Amino acid sequence: MMIINQIILFLITKLPKSFIKIFASRYVAGESQLDAIETAKKLNKKGFSVTLDILGEHTKTVQEAKNITQEYVKLFNLIEKNNIDANISIKPTHIGLDISIEEFESNLSILLNTASNTNNFLRIDMESSLVTNQTINTTLKFQKNNKNLGTVVQAYLYRTIDDLNLLNKFNNLNLRLCKGIYKESERIAIQSRNQINTNYLKIFEKIIHLKGFVGIATHDQALIEDIYKLIHRNKIDKKQFEFQALYGVPMGGWLEKHLSNNYKTRIYIPFGPNWYDYSIRRLKENPNIVNYIFKNLFTN
């Protein structure tokens, strides 16, 4: 399957960008902040909260990292102005972590001030294992004075279950829990889907046990059923969790089911001018994603 995906990926990179855009528009809300705000408004009307994310990663220059930070500042202000139920997610390497820790943290500090001033929340996405330590360290450093900050944990990493103790330093865990999207070695990451799911449930239960808040970010409907069972069996308080899904991924009616159960449900909306380079880079990194996209195109 891997080889077929690589061939498909090669063919995709040969197609005109305008053609790819037709398919990408299902998953990406457009290029501008106003496109994203309009999509957010529509989803809010249907009862969903949203997270906005400007596509991009591995920023190379200080000026670029500062520009992106300013784009996020504008976005916080637009969310407030339009009275939208939306928070923001950023990638550490998008706002400067590849340049230096100082650059990343100085930009993060600007964003956290803006998040506070606009009464909003910032989540730091989790990138590859190369930056897991730094992402956790910075999150803890800033959480000391900011309640409006959280990060993400990945169920495929063996270390995650122990990282929860570290992340709980201030007894205010606020995490998104996902399976993990990067290609990681078997030395540090579980490879089997079933075992990742088992670990996902274990991590979910531990966050709940630690009285934390968890964003349940998965499209895996069997896993969601298992989570529902845990919620019912353990009578988990609705205030301790929300469900999260990526914009455009079909969920077989689950999103509406969450809403009808009064479970908070958040759609993660990526957008931005870099949608093409970003999407191709991510596909190259993990060609198995091609599977999802094709399956979704032909099943819905």
Ligand X SMILES: Cc1cc2nc3c(=O)[nH]c(=O)nc-3n(C[C@H](O)[C@H](O)[C@H](O)COP(=O)(O)OP(=O)(O)OC[C@H]3O[C@@H](n4cnc5c(N)ncnc54)[C@H](O)[C@@H]3O)c2cc1C
From candidates 41, 66, 219, 284, binder to ligand X by CB under 6 A: 219
Best CA proximity match to 258, nearest among 85, 86, 47, 51:
47
Locate all alpha helices (DSSP H) within the chain, ordered by sequence.
2-14, 17-24, 33-45, 62-81, 101-117, 132-143, 160-167, 193-209, 221-233, 254-260, 275-285, 289-299
182 interacts with ligand X by CB under 6 A: yes
152 interacts with ligand X by CB under 6 A: yes
Which of the ranges 31-39, 54-62, 80-88, 180-188 carries the binding residues for ligand X, by CB under 6 A?
A: 180-188
Tokens, residue 169: 């330093």
C-beta of 111: minimal distance to ligand X in Å? 16
Q: Kindly tell me which of 179 and 206 has the beta carbon lying closer to ligand X.
A: 179
Q: Is 265 left (phi over 0), alpha (psi -120 to 50) or beta?
A: beta
C-beta of 27: minimal distance to ligand X in Å? 6
220 interacts with ligand X by CB under 6 A: yes
- Measured between alpha carbons, how far is 63 from 47 in angstroms, rounded to an integer? 38
Q: Kindly tell me which of 125 and 163 has the beta carbon lying closer to ligand X.
A: 125
From candidates 245, 255, 269, 290, binder to ligand X by CB under 6 A: 245
5 interacts with ligand X by CB under 6 A: no
C-beta of 63: minimal distance to ligand X in Å? 26
Tokens, residue 31: 């290029």
213 interacts with ligand X by CB under 6 A: no
Residues 131 and 97: beta-carbon distance below 8 Å: yes
181 interacts with ligand X by CB under 6 A: yes
Query: In this structure, what are the phi and psi dihedrals at residue 95, rounded to the nearest 5 degrees?
Result: -105, 25
Which chain residues interact with ligand X by CB under 6 A?
A: 125-126, 152, 154, 176, 178-182, 217-220, 244-246, 249, 268, 289, 292-293, 295-296
